[in-house]
A and B are shown apart, each in its own frame.
Chain A
Amino acid sequence: MKTITEQKPAEEITQYLEKCQKVYLIGCGTCATLCHTGGKSEVLEMKDKLEASGKKVTGWMVIPTACDELTKYALQEEAKNIKAADCILAMTCAVGVQTISLHLKESKPVYPALNTLFLGMEESPGHFMEVCLQCGSCVLGRTAAICPLVRCSKSLLNGPCGGSVGGKCEVSPDIPCAWQLIYDRLAEMGRLDEMEEIEPVKDWSVSVSGGPRKADVEAECTSTS
């Protein structure tokens, strides 16, 4: 599972940096590196572009995993160069942007250079697809392990709409109809009768509609001995 990102349009980044003459650049060694959106080479490419446009890059780093709390120490190590900058341009996912902002000592704008798209499943090498909405109440046990909430364009819970034709979604011939996939898999297993069960309305309060979600788990680096 990887957080899939893409670079924002150049104009949007330029707009963010309009009032900043000096910029500090941060990439991420995990998902953004894998997506070729915020690894070392993309960060250096951005550095060249900014310098060519007359900006001063006060420094750069690629944090191993920008979304974990070790980011705090990376920021401390680079404090001097960060202090010299008017803003930070984060070539990380949105979680990275917020982790950086959270741990920054001084108040300074942190601008995202990327759009965060989805949590991707690697279908084949380098090909990712969105398969989970993180809805907080998993239905996969009733849908042949194919999530209709994210793979059906209308998030239907009770079978395909009238726009499913030849295995494709009405929205685009590039989108397979999730419910056709579910149907085929259930048919293979001789479990089609299950599709006649009516799936009740969803509890969205455990999802985004319930406000920000939190979880407390035992921290990896906490010693319990």
Chain B
Amino acid sequence: MKAGTHLERVLESGKFAVTAEAGPPKGTSAEVMQKKAELLRHCCDAVNVTDNQTAIVRMSSLAGCMLLKQRGVEPVMQMVVRDRNRLAIQADVLGAVALGIGNILCLSGDHQKFGNHPTARGVFDIDSIQLIQTLKKMRDEKKFLSGEDISGEVPVFIGAAANPFADPFEFRVRRLAKKVKAGADFIQTQAVYDITKFAKWMEMASDRGLDKQVHILAGVIPIRSAGMARYMRDYVPGVSVPDEVVTRMEKAENAKEEGVRIILDIVEQLKEMPGVHGIHIMAVGWEDIVPDMVEKAGLMPRPVA
């Protein structure tokens, strides 16, 4: 065990993992996170807390993680390199570990242009792959990036993102290999709608033996309306929504139910796909659908591990 977190134990035991996402509020309410904790407690193995997602200022990921943890939900702390330099990043890692947070997901972060402070200076002192390396060095060598010693252990289970739907497609498996080489223990992917493309990417990853070196959790985002499907297809960079998904949503009598059915069909295929070790549900602003979805996907009860 590298960090001994619940998520790590579930994955290492070979069980199909379920993680979800909880976005912190644009404000100071602890209750928002506590409610999400109650909602997601029994249906997931760990819950990601986003870090100024889409470059919009929210309660910090570290604080959000702590609020989940106090309610008995294991957090995954998301960390973007957009907002902090190497000093601030390492300081937050020490703080997180001291507070008992053991899963950290390393991300570049959406560009600040998309957020509510578009004139901000993007930090990008280090990139997401270098962040993975930094965490590995802190954990395995007990050293800071600078080479100086850290007092105490840094048990972290290191996560990274992968987007099989971005370009150049042929490079996406190489980028995954880079993240594995840098020290990633688990991967959470961009939302899968285009299952054919995803299967191709998984096959290429498996051919290189990467599925044996890292736990891959496939991302899913339940769609609430035909409008959301169209928006994701046309405007969200790096998300690939096939036209047939949009058509299914447009023809549906009950869009929300159809949206869940679409995701359940996808999850069914993901469960059978070699190398996929779990799913990561990003039900942005629709967290209350998650328990029902996990139940219907036949993934309940969650392991005690």
**B21-58 interface (Cβ within 8 A of A):** none
Known interface pairs A154-B108, A156-B124, A170-B111. Does A164 touch B167 (Cβ–Cβ under 8 Å)? yes
Q: Does B181 contact A (CB under 8 A)?
A: yes
Known interface pairs A154-B111, A165-B237. Does A198 touch B178 (Cβ–Cβ under 8 Å)? yes
Contact partner, A160, options B111, B134, B145, B175, Cβ 8 Å: B175
A202, chain B: closest CB distance, angstroms: 8
Known interface pairs A159-B175, A160-B171. Does A201 touch B126 (Cβ–Cβ under 8 Å)? yes
A130, chain B: closest CB distance, angstroms: 15
Separation of A157 and B110 alpha carbons in the complex (Å): 16
Interface string of B73-86 (1 = CB under 8 A from A): 00000000010001
Known interface pairs A198-B129, A198-B133. Does A154 touch B166 (Cβ–Cβ under 8 Å)? no
**B142-199 interface (Cβ within 8 A of A):** 145, 161-163, 166-168, 171, 174-175, 177-178, 181-182, 190
Contacting pair B124 A163 (CB below 8 A):
no
B183, chain A: closest CB distance, angstroms: 10
Contacting pair A158 B127 (CB below 8 A):
yes
A87, chain B: closest CB distance, angstroms: 28
Known interface pairs A166-B167, A198-B182. Does A157 touch B127 (Cβ–Cβ under 8 Å)? yes
Instruction: Specify which chain B residues have a CB less than 8 angstroms from the CB of A1 in the assembled complex.
Output: none
Instruction: Specify which chain A residues have a CB less than 8 angstroms from the CB of B109 in the assembled complex.
Output: 154
Contacting pair B127 A160 (CB below 8 A):
no
Interface string of A195-206 (1 = CB under 8 A from B): 110111110100
Instruction: Specify which chain B residues have a CB less than 8 angstroms from the CB of A202 in the assembled complex.
Output: 125-126
Contacting pair B238 A170 (CB below 8 A):
yes
**B223-259 interface (Cβ within 8 A of A):** 237-238
Contacting pair B168 A180 (CB below 8 A):
yes
Separation of A155 and B127 alpha carbons in the complex (Å): 8
Instruction: Specify which chain B residues have a CB less than 8 angstroms from the CB of A166 in the assembled complex.
Output: 167
Q: Does B113 contact A (CB under 8 A)?
A: yes
Q: Does A54 contact B (CB under 8 A)?
A: no
**Residue picked from B86, B110, B113, B127, most chain A C-beta under 10 Å:** B127
Q: Does B130 contact A (CB under 8 A)?
A: yes
Contacting pair A162 B111 (CB below 8 A):
no
Separation of A163 and B113 alpha carbons in the complex (Å): 13
Instruction: Specify which chain A residues have a CB less than 8 angstroms from the CB of B145 in the assembled complex.
Output: 201
Known interface pairs A170-B238, A192-B174. Does A163 touch B166 (Cβ–Cβ under 8 Å)? yes
Instruction: Specify which chain A residues have a CB less than 8 angstroms from the CB of B237 in the assembled complex.
Output: 162-165, 170
Instruction: Specify which chain B residues have a CB less than 8 angstroms from the CB of A153 in the assembled complex.
Output: 111, 113, 122
Separation of A198 and B134 alpha carbons in the complex (Å): 12
A4, chain B: closest CB distance, angstroms: 20
Contacting pair B166 A200 (CB below 8 A):
no
Contacting pair B171 A154 (CB below 8 A):
no
Instruction: Specify which chain B residues have a CB less than 8 angstroms from the CB of A179 in the assembled complex.
Output: 171
Instruction: Specify which chain B residues have a CB less than 8 angstroms from the CB of A159 in the assembled complex.
Output: 129, 171, 174-175, 178
B201, chain A: closest CB distance, angstroms: 13
Q: Does A31 contact B (CB under 8 A)?
A: no
Instruction: Specify which chain B residues have a CB less than 8 angstroms from the CB of A192 in the assembled complex.
Output: 171, 174
Instruction: Specify which chain B residues have a CB less than 8 angstroms from the CB of A170 in the assembled complex.
Output: 110-111, 237-238
A170, chain B: closest CB distance, angstroms: 4
Contacting pair B86 A201 (CB below 8 A):
yes
Instruction: Specify which chain B residues have a CB less than 8 angstroms from the CB of A183 in the assembled complex.
Output: 168, 171
Between A and B, 19 residue pairs with Cβ closer than 8 Å are A153-B122, A154-B111, A154-B122, A154-B127, A155-B127, A156-B108, A158-B127, A158-B129, A158-B178, A160-B168, A161-B163, A161-B166, A165-B166, A165-B167, A165-B238, A166-B167, A171-B111, A198-B129, A198-B133
Residues on A facing B (Cβ under 8 Å): 153-167, 170-171, 177, 179-180, 183-184, 192, 195-196, 198-202, 204
Residues on B facing A (Cβ under 8 Å): 82, 86, 108-111, 113, 122, 124-130, 133-134, 145, 161-163, 166-168, 171, 174-175, 177-178, 181-182, 190, 237-238
Lowest 8 A-B CB distances belong to which pairs?
Answer: A162-B163, A170-B237, A158-B129, A163-B237, A162-B238, A155-B124, A156-B127, A162-B166
- Known interface pairs A161-B108, A201-B130, A204-B125; 4 further A-B residue pairs with C-beta atoms within 8 A, sorted by A's residue number: A153-B122, A154-B127, A159-B175, A160-B166
